[in-house]
Each structure stands twice: as C-alpha cells, then as structure tokens.
Amino acid sequence: MTIYSKTFDFAPVGLQMHELISHLYPICRSITGDGVRKTLHILQQHIPLKTYEVPTGTQVFDWTIPREWNVRDAYVKNSQGEKVIDFQQHSLHLLNYSIPVKKKMSLTELKKHLFTIQDRPDSIPYRTSYYSDNWGFCLTHKQLEGLPEDEYEVYIDSNLEAGNLTYGEYYLPGETEEEILFTCHICHPSLCNDNLSGISLVTFLAKHLKSLDLRYSYRFLFIPGTIGSIAWLALNENRTSYIKHGLVVAGVGDEGKFNYKKSRRGDAQIDKTVIHVLQNSGEDYQINEFSPYGYDERQFCSPGFNLPVGSLTRTPFGQYPQYHTSADNLDFVKPDKLGGSLAKYLEIVDILEHNYTYISTNPKCEPQLGKRGLYGNFGGTQDKKTKELATLWVLNLADGKYSLLDTSDRSGLDFAVIRDAANALYQGGLLERTNN
C-alpha cells in the first residue's frame, strides 16, 4: 500500500473525519478532567493509543500540573425558576475551570461574571481561567441584553481538586528509531476547527500509516495545549533527540488557504518539504516565519529543545471571526477541506519517507546507463524524456549534499519522478545512501 498518490479519493475519508468531529463535539474538554479521558477513549476506537496520567503537583520544568477540573452541571436560573443560561445546552456557556458556586444574586452582581462579544452578538465566546480561581458564564451578547433585573440563582456543580492531567500517545515503530512527530491539542470544549479538526486529522493520519511498512517511527500526541506539551517534553526529554521532523496540527477544517509556519530553525527538512508540497499544489498558500506565539510549537521550538517542528494549518488561529466562539461549529468545518488537509499531510510524509541523500558510485563523468538497462528503456516519448532527465539530474546531484527533495526543487521535476529514477539507480548499484 502506498502512503500517498494524487489519484487517491479523499472525499470518503473527509466525511469520516467530519463524523468523528461530530461525535466529539458535545464533550466538555479542558486541560484536565473526564472530558479529555472520554475524548481519548473515543479515539481508541480508531487507533491503539495509550493514555497517560500525570498527577497534580508534578513539577514540569517551570510549571506545575494543576488541579483536575470536572463539571457535572451548571446554570443560571431566574426568579421564575427558568434556566436562562444552561451548560447542558452548550459546553462553552461555562467559564472553563469555574470553581463550584451556589448563590443567589442581582443582575448587577451576576454581570461581573458574564462574558460576551459585543461585535459578534450571536456567538458565545470561549473563556478559561486555569490558573486563577474564578467562575463565570459565557453567553451571546443578545442573550445578555435580554436579561432583566431579577434575582438569579447561580449553580455550578464542579470539582477542582488533586487528580491528574491526561494525555494520549500512539507510537508506531518503523525501520529506524528516528521519529516524525505529529501533535495536536485536545483541551478545547465544543470548538470544531480549533481543534477537533486537528484531533481528527492526527487520528486518521495514524490510522492510514499504521498498516504500512515505514522507514521512520511515528509519534502521535494528543495533549492539552501548553501545559500538555510542557509535561510531555519534561517527562520524555530523553526521546526528543529522536525527533527528526514534526508538525503541530491545528485548524485544518476551514475553507481558508494553507498556512505554514516554519520551525524556529527555518531551514529544517520539514520546512523545505512543506514548502515544496505547497509550492507544487497549484493552490494558493502562505508561508510564515517562526514566531514564539501560537500553538505548541512554542514549547517544541523553545531554545532548550529547538526541534524541527513547524505547524501546517489552514487559516491561522485568531484570523477568522469564528475563532474561539460558538460559530466554530460543525458547519464551519467542511468534509472536503478536512480530506484535503489529510492529503497534504500524507504527501509530506511520503516525501520525508523517501527523501534520501545519495552519493554516486561512479562520479567521474556519466556512467554508461545503456549497458545497465537504465537508459532508453522507458515508456511513451514524453514520459521517456522526463524519466531520462530525472535520471541525469539524480546522478549529477548525487554528491552527498543534495537530498532528492533538493534535486526535485532544482530540476523542477516532480518528486515522485525523481524518487523513481533514484530507486532504479540505487537498485542498479550506481548510488549509495548517506545517513542524512
């Protein structure tokens, strides 16, 4: 089975990715708690990922694993006993990490704990308060404007106590211990593009790769944002030198063009590979330099690690009006865009898997290809010309400095054509692989 081909039909898998998102959408997730466990449990129906529990109070570099948060119910009732804000209707209604509350109060007092977005009056905002004790409700601005003076009953049935931070990891061993890392954040409640789309993509990527014979080992991480990647890095520091390439996966279901944010190194193989794929896609795209703001690349690319980890998204976080609101819903993420994003990730994997650097065993003048059956034996005329040219390019750049990807970029020939030419030359004993 092949990793990727332009002829694959990604429409059916796009629908399955969307279906998984629908399944996960109602769950109230946070950086800790049963919402994360429930989410990982659903993913285990697709891939054999392991879950890990890191106890509250564990020191992870400069951070400490916080108390675990769980919530059973939360609402605000008016004096008639009607629920005017109800967590059961939407997980975004509750300020994530709200402490337990049971109290009656006036509208003025209640308003100190209500969050809305004035210029998006139909959307519920997403708000959190992980590291300072607070409580609150999020609602549409329209809902807020409709609340009359009254005595309100606030009820939040939550726990904030010693427990664990939960994350999921699936390690897929390959021929070498060198790894490709794919990581996504799993801490957001009912929000689809940010980041159920990333969770779904990583799951289906792993599902696709797990039955193949692969050169690299693969690590798929499902971790809460920031504290999760810090915890993983602190607990797995000895594994990080194996990470040769990596991508932070987020925001891959909206209709925007692809955006690639380079690794801190800026010229890593992952950077060259993603840029190559986007440049040759025929689609509009944007390349962004690294900046220490964004998703978990902030941690993977911190100076003490400086790992070759970039981030491939569609519209970047914060640059679409639905971002971190209830409008980032099941309609906002499109099955064909999810499938199209998976296609890009597989194309990238396909190149990384085959991107060897070669040295010619016969570097002085051209070797005589004809007597080895490596010249003039190709199919149709146009095809033949391209394949001959690819063969010559591969041989000419086989000096141990150029990878096949460099050869594809420099010749303007398709990576697959270059790869096939190199394979034939390698089988024919004219090339040796380097360790790069």
Contact residues toward Zn ion (CB under 5 A) are 194
Across the strands, what pairs with 179?
Answer: 217, 243
Distance CA 54, CA 349 (A): 31
* 278 three-class SS: helix
Q: Is the Cβ–Cβ distance between 360 and 433 less than 8 Å?
A: no
Shortest distance, position 317 Cβ to Zn ion, whole Å: 6
- Give me the least distance between CB of 182 and Zn ion, in Å please: 18
- CB of 133 vs Zn ion, minimal distance in Å: 22
Residues in Cβ contact with 410 at an 8 Å cutoff, skipping those fewer than 6 apart: 393, 397, 402
Q: How far apart are CA 310 and CA 417, in angstroms?
A: 26
Q: Decide whether 194 or 297 has the Cβ nearer to Zn ion.
A: 194
Shortest approach of Zn ion to residue 341 CB, angstroms? Answer: 17
Q: Which is nearer to Zn ion, 218 or 317 (CB)?
A: 317
The Cα 24–Cα 21 span in angstroms is 5
Place of tokens 């004993």: 429
Name the residue number minimizing CB distance to Zn ion: 194
- Angle at the Cα of 275 from the Cα atoms of 294 and 304, rounded to 5 degrees: 45
Smallest distance from Zn ion to CB 324, Å: 6
Contact 338, 414 (CB under 8 A): no
CA distance 273 to 186: 26
Using omega within 30 degrees of 0 as the cis cutoff, is the peptide bond preceding 78 cis?
no
Tokens standing for 116? 């809305």
Q: Which DSSP letter does residue 381 get?
A: H
Instruction: Determine the Cα–Cα distance for residues 343 and 99; give it in Å rounded to an integer.
Output: 42
Cβ-proximal residues to 390 (8 Å cutoff; 6+ apart), any chain: 411, 413, 417, 418, 420, 421
- Residue 300 beta carbon to Zn ion: minimum distance, rounded to whole angstroms: 17
194 vs 350 by CB, closer to Zn ion: 194
Nearer to Zn ion, 201 or 421 (CB): 201
* Least distance between Zn ion and beta carbon 315 (Å): 13
Phi, psi of 15 (to 5 degrees): -65, -40
Which residue lies nearer to Zn ion by CB, 194 or 254?
194
DSSP-assigned states of every residue in 49-93: -EEEEEETT-EETTEE---EEEEEEEEEE-TTS-EEEETTT-GGG
Q: How far is the CB of 427 from Zn ion (least distance, A)?
A: 48
Shortest reach from residue 333's CB to Zn ion, in Å: 14
Q: Which is nearer to Zn ion, 21 or 154 (CB)?
A: 21
Closest to Zn ion by CB, 31 vs 110, is: 31
DSSP states of 210-226:
TTS--SSEEEEEEE-TT
Q: Token pair of 393, please?
A: 């390019």
Structure tokens at 382: 């146009």
CB 69 to Zn ion: min, Å: 17
Nearer to Zn ion, 26 or 373 (CB): 26
Q: 4 vs 323, which CB is nearer to Zn ion?
A: 323
Measured from the CB atom, the residue of 194 and 296 that comes closer to Zn ion is 194
